[in-house]
Chains A and B, each alone.
Chain A
C-alpha cells in the first residue's frame, strides 16, 4: 500500500478538514472549535521536541495564528488536516528549539547489538492503521544504527551534530547512515 493521505480520512480527520475549510472562509466559531478539538494533540507534538512547557505553549499560539492566516492554503487532496496542522506545530517547535540550544538535552544514544524490535506494542499495533504499519515495517528493514538514528532524529528533533555527539560516532558516518536510511525508507514505502 502506498501512503495516500486519503487513508487518513476517517470521520475525525474529515471533521478537522471541514473545520479548516470553514476557517479559510473566516469562520471564527469553526476556528475556536478547531482549537478545542486539536490543541491538546498539537501541544503534545510541540512538547515532544520542546520539553519546556512555556516555550511549547508559546509555539502553540504561533501554530494557531498561522493556521488562521494560512488555512486557505490547506489542500485536503495533498494532506490530511491533522497532518497539516501537526507538521506546522512540529516545524515551529524545531525552529524554536534551534533558537534555544540548551532547551532540550537528550540522553546518549546506544546502538543495540541485537535487532531489537522498536515497533509498537502488540496492543498499539492492533489499533495502528495500514500506513503506520507500513512505515514501521520499512523502518524494521533498516540496519540497526540507521533505524535507531532515524527514530531518535524524528522524535527528539536533534541535528546531525547533536546525534553524532549523543552516539559518539563521527559526524560523517551519522550523516551517511541517516541519508542511506532515508533513501531505503523511501524505496520501501514506494514498493
Chain B
C-alpha cells in the first residue's frame, strides 16, 4: 500500500489558485464554458499561460503515448485549401522540388526514431477504444460536382437524426448566395435540410418529418440560394453538387 497521507475525501478542495485551474484544463475535466474561460485568459494572462505550459510538460509523457493512425488522403488537400494555397496544381510542384526529397530522406531516420519514442501504447488499454470506433464506423455519401470533383462528404447518423457534412473547402460564387442542402427521396420532391457551409464541417439536425426521407436511394443535393428564407420550400437554382445515398 502506498504511504500517501490521505486527507478526508470529504474536504472540499476549491480551485482557489490558478495553478489548479491550469491543471484541470490540461487534464481535460472542465466543461465547455470553463474551457473557453481558461482559453481566453491564456491569451492575456502570461502567468496562467506559463502554468498551463508547465502542466502540459508534466503530462507530456502521456500525451505522447498514442497509437499513430494514418489520416485519409483528403486531409492534406483540405488543409492547403483552407490556407488558401493553390490546390491540386500545387502538389506536383512541391514534389518536383529536389529540396523536398532531400529533406524527406534526411527525416526518414528521424521519423523512425519518433515512432519508437511515441509509438508506445497507453498504460491502461481500455476496450472502448476499438468498440467505440467500430460503433462510429458508418458509410459515407460523397457529393460531387458536375466536373466530378468531390465537394462534400455526408455521414448519416440515422439513430440520432443527424447528418455530418464535411466539405472540401471551396469558394462561393461571389453572388452572395449560400449553399442549401436538400434531400430528394426516391420519386419525391426536394426538401430543404438547411444551410450548408462551404468550408467548415458541421452537423445538420434532420427535422423529424424528414428522417424517413434520409434513406438509401435518396439523393443529397446542394444549390446556391439566398441566405434569407432558409429553409426554402423548393430550390430556385441548378444543383451544384449531389450524391446518392448507397447505405446508411
Contacts and interface: CB of A to CB of B under 8 A. Distances in A.
B107 A131 contact: no
A25 to B, nearest CB: 14
Contact of A153 (B1, B27, B128): B27
Contacts of B158: none
B6 interface: yes
B29 A29 contact: no
Interface string A92-123: 00110011101011110000000100111000
Contacts of A53: 133, 136-137
A42 B65 CA distance: 11
B2 A37 contact: no
A140 B2 contact: yes
A49 B66 CA distance: 11
B228 to A, nearest CB: 26
A35 B62 CA distance: 21
A36 B23 CA distance: 31
Interface string B130-147: 001100110010000000
Contacts of B137: 53
A119 B121 CA distance: 11
B121 A186 contact: no
Specify which of B19, B56, B100 lies most central, judged by the most chain A CB atoms within 10 Å of its CB: B56
A41 B114 contact: yes
Contacts of B72: 57
Contact of B117 (A13, A134, A183): A13
Nearest to A93: B28
B113 interface: yes
A173 B12 CA distance: 8
A38 B120 CA distance: 15
Contacts of A95: 32, 35
B104 A43 contact: no
B67 interface: yes
Given A60-B71, A143-B2, A163 B79 contact: no
A5 B137 CA distance: 38
B28 A158 contact: yes
A57 B71 contact: yes
A184 B4 contact: yes
Contact of A176 (B11, B62, B107): B11
Nearest to A78: B53
B172 interface: no
A28 B30 contact: no
Contacts of B153: 54
Contact of A132 (B12, B30, B61, B129): B61
B82 A65 contact: yes
A163 B122 contact: no
Contacts of A106: 126, 128, 132
Interface string B96-123: 0101100110010111011011101111
A47 B15 contact: no
A60 B75 contact: yes
A33 B104 contact: yes
Contacts of A179: 13, 15, 20, 24
Contacts of B23: 182, 186
A61 interface: yes
Nearest to B5: A184
B97 A29 contact: yes
Contacts of A54: 140, 153, 155, 164, 166, 201
Contacts of A153: 27-29
B78 interface: yes
A151 B107 contact: no
Interface string A36-58: 11111101110111011111011
Please name the 8 residue pairs, one residue from A and one from B, whose CB atoms are nearest each other, closest first. Answer: A132-B61, A12-B114, A44-B66, A40-B68, A98-B32, A51-B132, A15-B110, A12-B113
25 contacts: A12-B110, A12-B113, A29-B100, A29-B103, A33-B100, A37-B111, A40-B69, A44-B67, A52-B136, A54-B153, A57-B72, A57-B74, A79-B53, A99-B32, A115-B2, A131-B61, A135-B61, A141-B2, A154-B28, A177-B9, A180-B9, A180-B13, A182-B27, A184-B4, A186-B58
